């Protein structure tokens, strides 16, 4: 009976978290377009425009190109959306622990984040279009580029928690209970800030947004790896990007801003849940506003060689410097 109850809770939690990821992903896309338009002195579409676009795509036919590999072409969008939703199950949502928190940690999340990108690559290569092939190649190069600084940030945070004596430093539950800021001194504080900035600059690369949207690059590749997609398949790819955006915002909050407000106001019950969920949503929005919306309005698209050099040389150097500061901080604290 207890096993059935546990499985039922996981299934219910997966359904609720998936619904949250889809709705929040579409909503943040609408907010993105509206705020970007306002900052460019335009009116912009309504906030519900992504929902309208999705509804239209879902009722349209998915056209498979003559030169495509049909089964892979149709499977790639489904794999992208499914893998993005699975990642969300390993992340805490405000006061709620991860649905699958006992079965994975930061290392697993980091590897799972490559699956949606690989699905995009597979879809681009399988379409038979030269533009999509170039976009898929760029997606592979971009993914290889941002994985290095992203891994440095994750390892740096987990290493500092491990040095502080925590038994499971890569666990997301550990990160939410013992924030990195509570175990570091002045040098470690600066180092953690560098890593926070680093992760925020990885987000637009992960979700293919300006200035790191070279795989799609409408003005160069006419849409790149999504050029041949339409109908339900395009809707699934669009949903996967929205969900992955929420995943990256939630992951950043879990790593660096895991606090809740209810303990501060001594609240409990439904009031505490509501306040903590609202605070969590505000933190995710702030991260995504700075990392996605503001950046894409203020910076032009990079060339693919600039993406590689930016992530490997400049952001990689920032990550290494932040890691050195954490190591120095641990040495001064006498725990290394």
Distance CA 5, CA 7 (A): 6
Burial, 300: exposed, middle or buried (Cβ in 10 Å; 0-12, 13-18, 19+)? exposed
Report pLDDT for 199. Answer: 94
Residue 263, both tokens: 């303990």
Judge contact between 213 and 241, C-beta under 8 A: no
With CA atoms as reference, report the closest residue to 152 among 318, 272, 25: 318
Mean pLDDT by runs of 10 across the 336 residues of the chain is: 70 88 93 90 89 91 86 91 92 86 84 91 86 85 90 91 86 87 90 94 88 74 75 91 93 92 82 89 94 86 86 91 91 66
Report pLDDT for 221. Answer: 62
Tokens 């032009």: give the residue: 300
Report pLDDT for 336. Answer: 46
Judge contact between 160 and 326, C-beta under 8 A: yes
Tokens 């990392």: give the residue: 291
Distance CA 274, CA 262 (A): 9
Give me the domain span that covers residue 205.
2-332
Q: What does the pLDDT look like over 212-239, one tens digit per residue?
A: 887 776 666 666 678 888 889 999 999 9
Main-chain phi, psi angles of 93, to 5 degrees: -120, 95
- Provide the b/e sequence for 54-87 (b: ≥16 CB within 10 Å): beebeeeebebbeebbeeebbbbbebbbbbbbbb
| Half-sphere CA count of 257, side-chain side, radius 13 A | 24
Please tell me the total count of domains within the chain.
Answer: 1
Q: What does the pLDDT look like over 233-284, one tens digit per residue?
A: 999 999 999 999 999 999 999 999 998 888 888 777 888 888 999 999 999 9
Judge contact between 68 and 77, C-beta under 8 A: no
Distance CA 16, CA 287 (A): 23
Helix boundaries (H) for 183-303: 186-206, 218-221, 231-256, 262-265, 269-288, 294-298
């Amino acid at each position: 009976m207890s096993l059935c109850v546990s499985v039922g809770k996981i299934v219910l939690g997966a359904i609720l978290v998936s619904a949250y990821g889809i709705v929040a992903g579409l909503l943040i896309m609408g907010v993105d377009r509206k705020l970007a338009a306002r900052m460019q002195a335009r009116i912009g579409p309504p906030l519900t425009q992504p929902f309208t676009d999705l509804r239209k795509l879902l009722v349209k036919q998915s056209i498979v190109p003559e030169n495509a590999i049909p089964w892979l072409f149709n499977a790639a969008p489904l794999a992208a959306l499914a893998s993005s939703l699975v990642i969300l199950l390993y992340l805490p949502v405000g006061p709620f622990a991860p649905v699958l928190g006992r079965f994975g940690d930061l290392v697993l999340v980091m590897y799972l984040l490559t699956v949606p990108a690989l699905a995009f690559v597979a879809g681009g290569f399988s379409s038979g279009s030269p533009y999509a092939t170039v976009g898929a190649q760029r997606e592979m190069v971009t993914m290889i580029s941002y994985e290095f600084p992203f891994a440095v940030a994750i390892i740096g945070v987990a290493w500092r928690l491990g040095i502080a004596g925590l038994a499971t430093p890569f666990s997301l539950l550990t990160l939410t209970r013992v924030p990195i800021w509570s175990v570091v001194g002045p040098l470690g504080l600066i180092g953690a800030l560098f890593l926070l900035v680093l992760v925020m600059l990885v987000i637009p690369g992960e979700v293919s947004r300006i200035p790191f949207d070279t795989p799609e690059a409408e003005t160069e590749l006419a849409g790149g790896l999504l050029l041949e997609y339409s109908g339900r398949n395009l809707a699934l790819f669009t949903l996967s990007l929205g969900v992955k955006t929420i995943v990256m915002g939630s992951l950043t909050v879990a790593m660096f801003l895991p606090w809740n407000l209810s303990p501060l106001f001594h609240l409990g019950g439904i009031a505490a849940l509501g306040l903590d969920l609202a605070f969590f949503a505000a933190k995710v929005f702030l991260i995504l506003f700075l990392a996605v919306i503001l950046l894409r309005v203020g910076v032009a698209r990079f060339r693919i060689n600039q993406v590689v050099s930016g992530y490997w040389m400049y952001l990689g150097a920032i990550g290494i410097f932040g890691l050195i500061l954490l190591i120095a901080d641990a040495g001064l604290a006498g725990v290394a």
